[in-house]
Amino acid sequence: MRKRIARLSALAHRLPDAGLRTPLRNLRLVTNSLEQLTKPRFPNRSPPRMTAQEHQSILSIAMLAAFADGHKADTEREAIRRMAESLPREAGGTELVRLYQDVLLKRVSLAEAEAGLTDAGQRQLAYEMAVCVCDADGRQSPAEAAFLADLKTRLKLDGQEAAAFEREADAVLDAADEAVPAAATAAAAPVVASSAAPGVDLDKSILNYALLNGALELLPQSWASMAIIPLQVKMVYAIGKAHGVELDQGHIREFIAAAGVGLTSQYLEQFGRKLLGGLLGKAAGRSIGRIGGAATGMAFSFATTYALGQVAKRYYAGGRTMSTELLKQSFQDLLGPAKQMQAQYLPQIQQKAATLDVAQVMQMVRGGV
């Protein structure tokens, strides 16, 4: 847009005035006005940060969404608790442990949480986060759908903007369903140790998934974070298939949970880091940022995805005989080195983040990475 205006302005100033004085004067006035309108008002300023109250309101809504279905498994509850305890130490922002307890003990209501948000962008962001949290472990349950409908009514959102985001969220879930079957179509393969199929480089594939998920976490758009868990599911599916095991989404999500990786808690952690780290400012919602507007912080999803892939490779290569305790211990043992690797690969992660768009990511969820 700015380039077009600049070319128009240059043309207006180069044309001779003879016989065209009034039209040219009008053209120059218009182009000068357009140039002023398209200049950033505060080019050297970052978006204003949210207040502590605004942080608390949005995170409270996200926590309420996490427990909206009323039957979170103990492993997921524990993962959410661990996430809540870890973030305040690192970000120094909101007391997530207190918010977690307030939600569990019903000391905070949806009405109280949404009352702290007066900005339209923040209200849109709160709704997007709630949808993403409810979608983290698959399609919404009736209880989650009812919670989101109530939330949307209370927040008084712009109908078109809310509908546009809902289409994006549905597109992510649809793409995930295309990539990995919801239910296995064949009988379970016998439990035997096996090596990967010839020509399959699982280490390279796991690294590619980790790089992509690390890049997605650095983007402010909600659809980017939504794609991380479906890509992890797809990665585990490919690893199982390479060892002759046909999996479905239910089995894969059970495996991920058994390894100690919470689905809902993982999304809450990504969102919490973005919010408390300042990536999400007052001008929040679908309009924030541009494709490639990556943060400079660490991409924690890289480490989680890489460690999960390596555990899956050991599990399916060993004939699926690892106990739940051994799975969890193996994941934790791999997570430390993976966090060191993410510092090494951070430049590549940031470079990848600068090139991603929604169509490209949806294709990766459906097809190859």
- pLDDT per residue, tens digit, the chain (369 aa), is 444 444 444 444 444 444 444 444 443 443 343 333 334 333 344 445 677 788 888 888 988 998 888 766 666 677 777 766 666 555 544 466 777 788 888 888 999 999 999 888 889 989 998 998 888 887 888 999 999 999 999 999 998 989 988 988 888 888 888 888 776 554 444 544 455 554 468 999 999 999 999 999 888 777 788 899 999 999 999 999 999 998 988 899 889 988 988 888 888 877 777 776 665 544 344 434 333 334 444 568 999 999 999 999 999 998 888 999 999 999 999 999 999 999 899 999 999 998 888 888 888 888 766
SS (H, E, C) the chain: CHHHHHHHHHHHHHCCCCCCHHHHHHHHHHHHHHHHHHCCCCCCCCCCCCCHHHHHHHHHHHHHHHCCCCCCCHHHHHHHHHHHHHHHHHHCCCCHHHHHHHHHCCCCCHHHHHHCCCCHHHHHHHHHHHHHHHHCCCCCCHHHHHHHHHHHHHHCCCHHHHHHHHHHHHHHHHHHHHHCCCCCCCCCCCCCCCCCCCCCCHHHHHHHHHHHHHHHHCCCCHHHHHCHHHHHHHHHHHHHHHCCCCCCHHHHHHHHHHCCCCHHHHHHHHHHHHHHCCCCCCCCCCCCCCCCCCCCCCCHHHHHHHHHHHHHHHHHHCCCCCCHHHHHHHHHHHHHHHHHHHHHHHHHHHHHHCCCCHHHHHHHHHCCC
